[in-house]
Amino acid sequence: MARFVLSLHSAPSDHDTTQRLYKFALACLAQGHAIDAIFLYQHGVFHASEHINLATDELAIKSLWQQLHQHNINLMLCVTAAEKRGLNLATTGVFSVAGLAEFAMLASEADKWVQFK
Amino acid sequence: MARFVLSLHSAPSDHDTTQRLYKFALACLAQGHAIDAIFLYQHGVFHASEHINLATDELAIKSLWQQLHQHNINLMLCVTAAEKRGLNLATTGVFSVAGLAEFAMLASEADKWVQFK
Amino acid sequence: MSTLHIFSKPISYYDNARLVNLIQPQDKVLLVSDACYSINLYRQLAASLLVLAEDASARGIDIVKPDECQNYADFVALTLSTSQSITW
Amino acid sequence: MSTLHIFSKPISYYDNARLVNLIQPQDKVLLVSDACYSINLYRQLAASLLVLAEDASARGIDIVKPDECQNYADFVALTLSTSQSITW
Amino acid sequence: MINVLVLSQHAPFDDMHIRDALDMTLIFAAIEQNISWLFTGPAVLALKKGQEAESLGLKNYFKSIKTLEIYDVENIYVCEKSLIDYNLDINDLIIEAKALDFKAQRDLITQQQQVINL
Amino acid sequence: MINVLVLSQHAPFDDMHIRDALDMTLIFAAIEQNISWLFTGPAVLALKKGQEAESLGLKNYFKSIKTLEIYDVENIYVCEKSLIDYNLDINDLIIEAKALDFKAQRDLITQQQQVINL
């Protein structure tokens, strides 16, 4: 069993990267690995907006995050990156607002850090 | 006197493009030209977030938009692009929520459309 | 000691003159997303390319030898069998 | 009939093999932002490059002949003296 | 009526670039301007036959591109050189498009009032 | 303690790429990991002397890069080939950095537990 951290760097309009991160995360869990955190950085922070409401034929972004959350994965949002980009930090849904240091510590303890962008 | 429309395609984290759009707009007005609209499209829509609060040594993005607004420039936000990106359309400050058609009509009547990205 | 190199865009998005010098013969090159479109052009980076099957299939791209299909379980395994990964 | 071509990134960001074929001798090439860093490399697109003075100056770049400094008033005038502009 | 050219240069799934360009093209057609759309570089891949995004869980916007024909958007152009780069032929495309060499692309640009690079 | 490499490839004012990489580098130094930062392609321009962003109304993050020395971040590397591409010399840089040829860059990558491309 290995310990992973994943980071997402692209905006929610990049549906393709979002679905790939989700599937990679599920494949990790299916193999019995642990995901210590998924971290939103750079434009990835926009995923924590509560106003993402897409048509039914679009990728169900909100639901994917809900599912990862139900797997007890720590979904973290970089506070510095989010403030610079005008995200509302009062309502970030399943994401917890975290400093870069918190994530860097988890990344230092993990076996693997895989970036998605 | 010519009629311009401008569009902004990059996110508020792209400070350099933001200041260039602002200075170009002021230079247009200084020469007696009209700016019929500035339109936020693609990642540019994130400029309409009311949560952009930067440190004092950073570009004063909010204040730049306020100034352009005080020059009576029509600041428009593309509703389709904004919805896809999770922007809160209830509070868009100096930006008016507009359809692509509204902007396209203004662009068709303008002499020049200059993109910033 | 090998590195996993992950590409998600056609090779024209990258500075391949520089990249080709950073990839070693024992390294693995995984193509995902729109990188699948330019398998032939990625050949300069590795003799055998690994391609995420789902992504290639959605784009109507067939994977033929010497390239290899990978599913998500393989993708996870690849990150573990290599010493480090780089998402370019 | 000439076109204004606006670049804001170093030329390595673009597919210059393609671009060089889309720019005509009578066209104007304006470098702003980080495009100012690679004036020499943009030479293949035009004999004389126009450079936004403020942007070059902040980056510690000197503009010398045959290239020409432009201020924002010039930039606005350029969009009006050309038939169309493209922000690449 | 003015001539407007939408320029696409991004790969099919690079953010929403092609979808944004599609929206822009359809709107200009709807307000009855003379709209053209030029695909160049990896953007030509957005017109490649045999693709479907649903298997990835994504909206199949390739189907939406086909609606260009319903809305009578006829000026669809592809860069001839880019087709060759990606081993494509005009018959491999999901809609009717004209392949343009560089000279024809330069002429197309020259005829426009506005050129929008998305 | 693990070896972490931050990789920068973007131009100095391209969104916040270099600033995001700086934040990441400083944090790993703060939590006492063995952090390295490699500038390659147009990113080497972020280290060029004689720049100041205030005249544009922007934060002068070049000054913040200098704080790397205060925080004892010593493993700053630049791609030798990229310096040449942009007519720069190691003495034209605002901080002390080691120029690496491709062989040395490959070795640097091999020594890492994590490589983060920002």
Residues F20-47: pLDDT tens digits?
A: 999 999 999 999 999 999 999 999 999 9
Query: Per the CB < 8 Å rule, is E113 touching D22?
Result: no
Work out the percent of chain E whose per-residue pLDDT is above 70.
Answer: 100
Which of D19-23, F67-71, F80-84 bottoms out in mean pLDDT, i.e. has the lowest?
A: F67-71
Closest CB to C76 among A20, A24, A115: A24
A75-85, pLDDT tens digit by residue?
999 999 999 99
User: Which of F10, F13, F15 should one mutate to test binding to chain B, selecting the residue with the greatest count of B CBs within 10 A?
Assistant: F15
Contact residues on chain B for A52, CB-CB shorter than 8 A: 85-86
Residue of C nearest to A115 (CA): C87
pLDDT bucket at F6, cuts 50 / 70 / 90: very high
Q: Which percentage of chain C shows pLDDT scores above 90?
A: 98
Residue B14: the pLDDT is: 98
Q: Count how many pairs of residues, chain B against chain D, have C-beta atoms within 8 Å.
A: 39
- F114 to chain A: which residues are within 8 Å by CB? 107, 112-113
Q: Where are the domains of chain F?
A: 3-117
Percent of chain F with pLDDT over 90: 97
Distance from CA of C22 to the nearest CA of F (A): 6
Considering only CB atoms, A57 lies closest to which of E14, E15, E59, namely E59
Residue A28 annotated in active site = no
User: D73: nearest CA in chain B?
Assistant: B27
Is the predicted pLDDT of residue C67 greater than 90, yes or no? Answer: yes
Given A5, A68, A78, A98, the catalytic residue: A78
Identify the pLDDT of residue C17.
92
- pLDDT value, residue D1: 81
Q: Which residues of chain E have pLDDT under 50?
A: none
Q: What is the mean pLDDT of residues A52-67?
A: 96
Interval F44-54 mean pLDDT: 97
Long-range contacts of B22-27 (CB under 8 A, 24+ apart): B22/B64, B22/B67, B22/B68, B23/D54, B23/D72, B24/B114, B24/B116, B24/D72, B24/D75, B24/D76, B25/B68, B25/B71, B25/B73, B26/D72, B27/D71, B27/D72, B27/D73, B27/D75, B27/D76
Determine the pLDDT at residue D41: 93
- H-assigned helices in chain A: 15-30, 61-70, 79-84, 100-109
Q: With a threshold of 0.90, does the pTM exceed it?
A: yes
On the question of pLDDT at D39 being above 90, the answer is yes
CB-based contacts of E40: which residues, under 8 Å, 6+ apart? D18, E7, E8, E9, E78, E79, E82, E105
The rounded percent of chain A whose pLDDT value lies above 90 is 99
CATH topology for the E3-117 domain: Hypothetical Protein Ychn; Chain: A, (3.40.1260)
- The Cα C73–Cα C7 span in angstroms is 18
For the annotated catalytic residues of B, the residue numbers are 78
Interchain CB distance below 8 Å, C73 and A24: no
CA distances from A71 to A36, D62, E107 (A): 11, 56, 57
Q: Which residues, 6 or more positions from B109, have their beta carbon under 8 angstroms from its beta carbon?
A: B3, B36
Residue of chain F whose alpha carbon sits nearest to that of D9: F11
Q: In the prediction, which pLDDT does A106 show?
A: 98
Beta carbons of B115 and E23 less than 8 Å apart: no
Between CA D76 and CA A105 the distance in angstroms is 50
pLDDT tens for E44-76 read 999 999 999 999 999 999 999 999 988 889 999
Residues 29-58 of A with CB under 8 A from C: 30-31, 33
Q: Please tell me which of the candidates D8, D73, D79 has its beta carbon nearest to residue B112.
A: D79
* ipTM exceeding cut-off 0.95 for this assembly: yes
